[in-house]
Amino acid sequence: MPKINFNVNEKHFAHVVRCWHEVLRRDPTQQECGRYRNIGDIVLMDIARTILQEEQASDTRGRITERARKLETIPGVSHVSRYNSTCGIATYCENLFSAMYGKIRCCVLSDKNRNRENPACEDGVIPCFDAENESSYDGIVNEAISQGNQIIHFQHEFGIFRNDDAFIGILKFLRQCGFKVITTYHTVPVSKAQDKIFNASDLNIVHTEMAAYRLYSAGINNVTVIQHGTEAPILLNKNECREFAKQYINLEDGDLLVTSVGFISQNKMQLETLKAIKIAREKNTKIKFLMIGSTGRRSYDIDYLPGLLELQDDGIRVVSKFVSHEDMAKIMTASDFGVYNYVQTEYSVSGMAHFVLSYGVPTVSSLSRILEELTPDTSLKSAGIEHMASLIWELAQDEDLRTQLSRNATAKGMSTRWDKIAQTHIAAYRAVGGWTL
């Protein structure tokens, strides 16, 4: 390796040369010597390691790009998502992938982490990246090239892809490699501070018209609305399901089982829900309320649980446990109606709301955007504890109203079954990819 001519006293740069040889196995450039000459050895070694990582990444990207140049993509889609995790996005992807499988060429490029007790089928699923580590995103590109599908479809949530710049970088790189990129944004922020992210894909999918209007207002037009899918219900006997529910709450003949199923979390305002239930029960003691779901996603949710437990009585039970898909179906079938009470959120959709629609459960629900798909023809919309209490009492008193809301909920659930939602996605893929199949 040729010796560098520093044109000054080389001893002044000796520590830079030594660190570069130790970490990078090369001489520093004149620019590097000038920039780092007055920096101590400990910091200098960190800088050298960072440069090494950048050089290795650049080399990796170069090799990936060379592979991509030789690739002829095939009409098909590679989903990028979490999978088999206690995560709504994972469940969403599993349902969409299952409904699409066999209809078009498709696979899932998944996060490597698995933490669910009742896993979905892993056929066609390739774990290749770590959602917590953006430096692993090149694994997505490598597998995308290996699979050869023309379209890469990201299931995005800001809690999963936390570094906007890193996420935008991988989308742009995939497009440079010749892929078409589609991103489903399961949350669209109210604030426009992160809007640059929506310009990185060929197409953005959102779940509601209000989310689309929010993006249109910011000049983002490559947007389409595809509703969240609804699972087909497991057909069960209501009396048997009520017997199942008795392990959690005392139910007698004539009692009305009111439920709230899903994660126990502060953003669901469950403390306020319990207070409303208590008020309603003062007028109708036949109302029995079961709140069931797991905590543990965040420490503040675990800390939230004791305050809920304090409000229990003979007619109110709070059960903190993971609820399997099958057990959730039993609780939904046993329910006379449900109560769901989120804070006002970003533009998003609740997967639990679609589970409610699947089983035709009438509900009382808050005006939060995330519960927008529980429309007034399927749910009584509440504003505040006192109002919620009066609606709970009203729904408990009026069987005809419960029946009508249930019919409407069932009809809406059927209109958004996953097989129909999958076909809508396939139409979008054909449009973006220019498929003639």
Domain edges within the chain: 10-68, 71-229+418-433, 238-415
CA distance 268 to 167: 29
pLDDT over 70 (residue 59): no
* Element (DSSP H or E) covering residue 80: strand 74-81
The fraction of the chain above a pLDDT of 70, given in percent, is 93
Architecture of the domain whose range is 238-415: 3-Layer(aba) Sandwich (3.40)
Residue 22 confidence (pLDDT): 85
CA distance 43 to 230: 54
pLDDT over 50 (residue 350): yes
Q: Give the number of other Cβ atoms within 10 Å of residue 58's Cβ.
A: 10
Residue 57 confidence (pLDDT): 64
Contacts 24+ apart (CB under 8 A), 2-11: 3/27, 4/28, 4/29, 4/30, 4/33, 6/30, 6/33
- Higher-pLDDT residue of 33 and 298 is 33
Residue 80 confidence (pLDDT): 98
Residue 188 confidence (pLDDT): 96
**Residues contacting residue 315 through CB under 8 Å, at least 6 positions apart:** 249, 250, 281, 285, 287, 288, 289
- Dihedral angle, C-alpha 142, 144, 148, 152, nearest 10 °: -160
Whole-model pTM: value is: 0.80
* Element (DSSP H or E) covering residue 65: helix 41-69
Q: Which of the residue ranges 69-78, 178-187, 235-244 would you say has the lowest mean pLDDT?
A: 69-78
Residue 8 binned pLDDT confidence (cut-offs 50, 70, 90): very low
Residues 341 and 273: beta-carbon distance below 8 Å: yes
Residue 1 confidence (pLDDT): 44
Residue 10 confidence (pLDDT): 57
Question: Do 71-229+418-433 and 238-415 fold alike per CATH?
Answer: yes
Beta bridge partners of 314: none
Among 328, 350, 348, 330, CA closest to 340:
350
Residues 369 and 350: beta-carbon distance below 8 Å: no
**Residues contacting residue 428 through CB under 8 Å, at least 6 positions apart:** 182, 203, 205, 224, 226
**Residues contacting residue 61 through CB under 8 Å, at least 6 positions apart:** 138, 173
Hey, what are 435's tokens? 């498929």
Residue 6 confidence (pLDDT): 46
What fold, for 71-229+418-433?
Rossmann fold (3.40.50)
Residue 62 confidence (pLDDT): 67
pLDDT over 90 (residue 35): no
Q: Which of the residue ranges 33-37, 145-149, 225-229, 337-341 would you say has the lowest mean pLDDT?
A: 33-37
30-44, 115-129, 354-368: range with highest mean pLDDT: 354-368
pLDDT tens track for 143-182: 998 899 999 999 999 989 999 999 999 999 899 889 999 9
pLDDT tens track for 176-190: 889 999 999 999 999
Q: What is the mean pLDDT of residues 233-257?
A: 96
Residue 51 confidence (pLDDT): 72
pLDDT tens track for 395-414: 999 999 999 999 999 999 99
pLDDT tens track for 74-131: 999 999 999 999 888 999 999 999 999 999 999 999 999 998 878 899 999 999 999 8
- Higher-pLDDT residue of 296 and 365 is 365
pLDDT over 90 (residue 276): yes
pLDDT over 70 (residue 297): no
Residue 353 confidence (pLDDT): 95
Identity of the residue numbered 153: H
SS3 assignment, position 298: coil
Residue 94 confidence (pLDDT): 96
- Higher-pLDDT residue of 361 and 134 is 361
